[in-house]
């Protein structure tokens, strides 16, 4: 007997995009091609209707809320290795972002290719269980700890690709360019040597090789690490290459006040202005400013129709500060979310903290709301379509005809949701919950959890 070509999924509730409008519907029937995973149609079936057209298998998820798979726009997978390890005062006192960075570098320099693979695989597997179906991996471990190239200069990038492939996670490999330890430095610190290619030519040759591997499961972006680590002329070179090939550009921006002070001393401008002047905001894809915390009024004007990636659990962990998400939205930037250091892997918590940090700052409620005054859809959008746009994959992060069936099911019988009206389940999860009740995860039409 041959397998039916299409599979249809239904559930009590789903957040789907119909006629371009994202909305909560009851008992939808989402049909997708079993081979490609592409959604063929979305129709609203009546309760108890189990008849299926010939050549279609119906899978009923029961008492569940079906949501688009979440898109994690910023991760450093290997940093999961120091989860829980930097919370006791040690030789670096007072404890700060910079002393945390020293601890992180120590681990970064112990990993061989198999170690990079093992750490990344564990991290990506955890992401999948948490409903993340696509990750932007901001990858900067490129060479051996002393800076020597491996026989294949893309050895470690290939280990990241292998890890994503093995667990079935979509990957946007954000290849990092790193050249120096700071504004006045000629090169890297010894512990930063493995991040560095030595020239933009060598780096772009690696990027081009990786671009040739692109598939629906793998895309590539250009990631100048920060204004600390990249000189202005190099930035312009990277921007020109990314823009010519339609690649997304991501960079750490204004995470720490010291970075701003050093940038002002070197350039007489803010980091964001330096990225803008280098052409990073002029490409066909949006520029993604990761963190963008310590920004000026003129910075806020720069990112209209561009992206800000907030990573609230990491920003809280490192004492970075609060992303001014409401101000960014008012100025026309789209917000995405990242698990960044992966100390916590839970985009539901990232989304909730985005709103809660604004409440603490403004001493007000419902800070990030849509035209109807609702907060939960804004937070869901940050965790889904916002990330998809940041990674240059606008077809992801939505359950819509033509998009792949990347989805997660929330178990409405989970103890944290028992007694919650189904119509309020999205609010209960995103404003009072975690990723805990996620019970099933699908990528490209294949069940992965
Ligand atoms: Zn980062």
Distance CA 74, CA 293 (A): 15
Which one is catalytic: 197, 299, 340, 411?
340
User: DSSP characters for 401-430?
Assistant: TTSB--EEEEETTSTTTTT--GGGHHHHHH
- Mean pLDDT, rounded, for 390-400: 98
Distance CA 314, CA 357 (A): 13
Give pLDDT tens digits for 164-182.
999 999 999 999 999 999 9
Question: Exposed, middle or buried: residue 233 (CB in 10 Å: 0-12, 13-18, 19+)?
Answer: exposed
Q: Look up residue 447 and give its two tokens.
A: 């069940």
pLDDT at residue number 93: 52
pLDDT at residue number 3: 75
Give pLDDT tens digits for 400-446.
999 999 999 999 999 999 999 999 999 999 999 999 999 999 999 99
CA of 317 to the centre of ligand 1 (A): 13
The CB density around residue 195, as the number of other CB atoms within 10 Å, is 22
Pairing state between β 170-177 and 21-26:
unpaired
Q: Look up residue 154 and give its two tokens.
A: 């893309």
CA of 101 to the centre of ligand 1 (A): 11
Query: What residues have CB less than 8 Å from 371, skipping those under 6 apart?
Result: none
Q: Is 33 a catalytic residue?
A: no
Q: What percent of the chain has pLDDT over 90?
A: 91
CA of 248 to the centre of ligand 1 (A): 16
CA of 241 to the centre of ligand 1 (A): 22
CA of 74 to the centre of ligand 1 (A): 6
| pLDDT for 185 beyond 80 | yes
Q: How confident is the model at residue 53 (pLDDT cuts 50, 70, 90)?
A: confident
Give pLDDT tens digits for 270-293.
999 999 999 999 999 999 999 999
Q: How confident is the model at residue 1 (pLDDT cuts 50, 70, 90)?
A: low
What domains can be seen in the chain, in order of their start residue? 6-68+397-447 (2.30.40.10), 70-390 (3.20.20.140)
pLDDT at residue number 294: 98
Q: Find the range with the poorest average confidence among 42-51, 136-145, 433-442.
A: 42-51
CA of 315 to the centre of ligand 1 (A): 10
Q: Is 340 a catalytic residue?
A: yes
CA of 76 to the centre of ligand 1 (A): 6
- Mean pLDDT, rounded, for 183-194: 93
Q: Do residues 68 and 399 make contact, with C-beta atoms less than 8 angstroms apart?
A: yes
Which one is catalytic: 241, 291, 294, 357?
291
Phi, psi of 134 (to 5 degrees): -150, 135
pLDDT at residue number 300: 98
CA of 291 to the centre of ligand 1 (A): 8
């Amino acid at each position: 007997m041959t397998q039916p070509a299409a599979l249809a999924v239904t559930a009590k509730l789903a957040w789907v995009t119909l006629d371009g409008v994202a909305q909560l519907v009851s008992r939808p029937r989402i049909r997708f091609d079993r081979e490609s995973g592409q959604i063929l149609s979305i129709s609203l079936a009546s309760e108890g209707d189990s008849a299926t057209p010939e050549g279609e298998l119906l899978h009923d998820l029961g008492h569940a809320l079906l949501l688009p798979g979440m898109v994690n726009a910023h991760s450093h997978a290997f940093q999961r290795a120091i989860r829980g390890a930097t919370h006791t005062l040690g030789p670096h006192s007072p404890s700060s972002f910079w002393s945390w960075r020293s601890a992180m570098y120590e681990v970064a320099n112990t990993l061989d290719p198999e170690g990079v693979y093992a750490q990344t695989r564990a991290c990506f597997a955890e992401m999948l269980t948490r409903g993340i179906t696509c990750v932007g991996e901001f990858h900067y471990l490129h060479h051996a700890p002393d800076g020597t190239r491996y026989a294949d200069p893309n050895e470690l990038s290939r280990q990241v690709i292998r890890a994503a492939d093995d667990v079935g996670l979509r990957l946007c490999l954000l290849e990092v360019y790193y050249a120096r330890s700071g504004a006045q430095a000629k090169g890297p610190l010894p512990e930063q040597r493995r991040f560095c290619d030595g020239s933009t030519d060598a780096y772009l040759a690696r990027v081009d090789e990786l671009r040739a591997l692109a598939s629906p499961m793998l895309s590539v972006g250009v990631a100048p690490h920060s204004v600390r680590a990249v000189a202005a002329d190099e930035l312009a070179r990277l921007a020109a290459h990314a823009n010519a090939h339609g690649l997304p550009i991501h960079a750490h921006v204004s995470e720490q006040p010291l970075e701003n002070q050093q940038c002002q001393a070197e350039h007489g401008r803010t980091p964001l202005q330096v990225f803008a002047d280098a052409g990073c905001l002029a490409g066909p894809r949006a520029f993604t400013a990761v963190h963008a915390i310590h920004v000026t009024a003129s910075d806020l004007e720069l990112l209209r129709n561009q992206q800000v990636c907030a990573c609230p659990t990491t920003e809280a962990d490192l004492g970075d500060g609060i992303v001014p998400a409401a101000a960014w939205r008012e100025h026309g930037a789209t917000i995405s979310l990242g698990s960044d250091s992966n100390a916590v892997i839970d985009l539901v918590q990232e989304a909730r903290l985005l709103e809660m940090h604004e409440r603490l700052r403004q001493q007000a409620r419902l800070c990030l709301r849509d035209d109807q005054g609702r907060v939960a859809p804004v937070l869901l959008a940050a965790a889904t379509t916002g990330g998809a746009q940041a990674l240059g994959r606008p077809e992801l992060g939505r359950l819509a005809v033509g998009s792949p069936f990347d989805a997660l099911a929330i178990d409405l019988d989970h103890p944290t949701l028992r007694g919650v009206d189904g119509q309020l389940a999205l609010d209960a999860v995103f404003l009072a919950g975690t990723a805990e009740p996620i019970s099933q995860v699908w990528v490209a039409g294949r069940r992965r959890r």
